[in-house]
Structure formats: structure tokens, C-alpha cells
């Protein structure tokens, strides 16, 4: 009788373990790991699609005084990629 109870306990424990593992696998397969995030593409990213890490918002080199003033007016020196105004770049 004791041997039969011991065998029943082992079968019950094994069946419970298998059932819990199956539930865990089913749960992880049904739940997406990451929800897809809609990518918002800024104007600067559209202007420079080949620069995924960004570009310098302050253009250096020979530019007109009007362009330098326009850069100062829109705050190009404080802009951070990808939120860089299009006015920061020579058109």
C-alpha cells in the first residue's frame, strides 16, 4: 500500500511539473516580448536618411552672415539629434 502511494505521488508530481512547464511555454509563446513602437521620423532624419546616428546641427565652414543669423535664431547650437530644425542646414 505504501509503495502504491509513493508511486502515485511521483506520478502526480511529474504530471504537475509537465503541466506547469507546458503552461509556461504556451504563455511565453502567446505573449509578445516587445510591443512594436511606431517610429516617428523627424524632418532632419528625412533630410539625412544615410546618417542614422545624426549629423552636426552647426554647419561650419564658409557660410553667409544671413545663414549664421538664421542658425542663431532657431537655436542650432542647442539642438540635439533628431530634433534639429531644418533651418540649421544649408539648403
Three-class secondary structure of residue 83 per DSSP: strand
Give me the sign of the Cα torsion angle 45, 48, 49, 54: negative
Mind listing the pLDDT tens digit for each residue in 24-64?
A: 888 777 666 666 665 777 888 888 888 777 777 677 778 88
What proportions of the chain, in percent to the nearest 5, are helix, strand and coil? Answer: 55, 0, 45
Q: According to the model, what pLDDT value does residue 80 have?
A: 84
Structural domain boundaries in the chain: 1-34, 38-91
At 15, the pLDDT band (50, 70, 90 cuts) reads very high
Query: Distances from the Cα of 48 to the Cαs of 1, 31, 35, 65, 69, in angstroms?
Result: 79, 36, 27, 24, 23
pTM, entire model: 0.45
Amino acid at each position: 500500500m505504501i509503495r502504491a502511494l509513493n508511486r502515485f505521488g511521483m506520478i502526480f508530481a511529474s504530471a504537475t511539473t509537465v503541466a506547469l512547464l507546458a503552461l509556461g511555454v504556451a504563455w511565453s509563446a502567446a505573449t509578445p516580448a516587445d510591443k512594436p513602437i511606431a517610429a516617428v521620423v523627424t524632418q532632419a532624419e528625412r533630410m539625412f536618411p544615410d546618417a542614422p546616428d545624426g549629423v552636426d546641427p552647426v554647419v561650419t565652414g564658409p557660410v553667409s552672415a544671413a545663414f549664421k543669423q538664421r542658425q542663431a535664431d532657431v537655436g542650432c547650437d542647442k539642438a540635439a539629434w533628431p530634433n534639429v530644425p531644418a533651418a540649421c542646414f544649408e539648403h
